[in-house]
Structure 1
């Protein structure tokens, strides 16, 4: 991971959850492994929880999100 990618991921982790809006430090979920520029800020529940993106995706359906929409929200929060 380059220095620029590391800085981007740190900003993503500070941006809050793109799915539910939870504030604070979050995980950086990669849409595709190793593509750090496409990291999405997600709280633990929306990321690795049973209803999160790596679970049954219930929270994502409730918020009517997919990874591209969540990436857009993350980038808006980081750079907007």
Structure 2
């Protein structure tokens, strides 16, 4: 879904997002497709692959209580590193 407050993604950004969404979750390793979490609005090349629960879940999610994040001792930087490592493989 595209927010009306954001600029349209470039073809290169869209390709990157498609590749991120194909990855497993960078927190719990749930198989893809994943959601692309954008830590900074509009900076698509730093998107993180997250399952819906680790992204938006009330208990486990980044936008919730972050339980899975604490269990795996991860923050956004650590999850971004995992996403980038998987993209480079």
- Rg larger for: 2
- What TM-score, normalized by structure 2, do the two folds share? 0.87
> Structure 1 stretches of 5 or more lacking a match?
none
| SS of aligned partner of 2:20 | helix
Partner of 2:3: none
The residue correspondences of 1:31-50 to structure 2 (distance < 5 A) are: 31-50=39-58
Partner of 1:5: 13
- The count of corresponding residues between Structure 1 and Structure 2 is 80
> Structure 2 stretches of 5 or more lacking a match?
1-8
- What TM-score, normalized by structure 1, do the two folds share? 0.96
Give the ranges of 4+ consecutive aligned residues of structure 1 lying more than 2 Å apart after TM superposition.
none
Structure with the greater relative contact order (CA < 8 A, sep ≥ 6): 1 or 2? 1
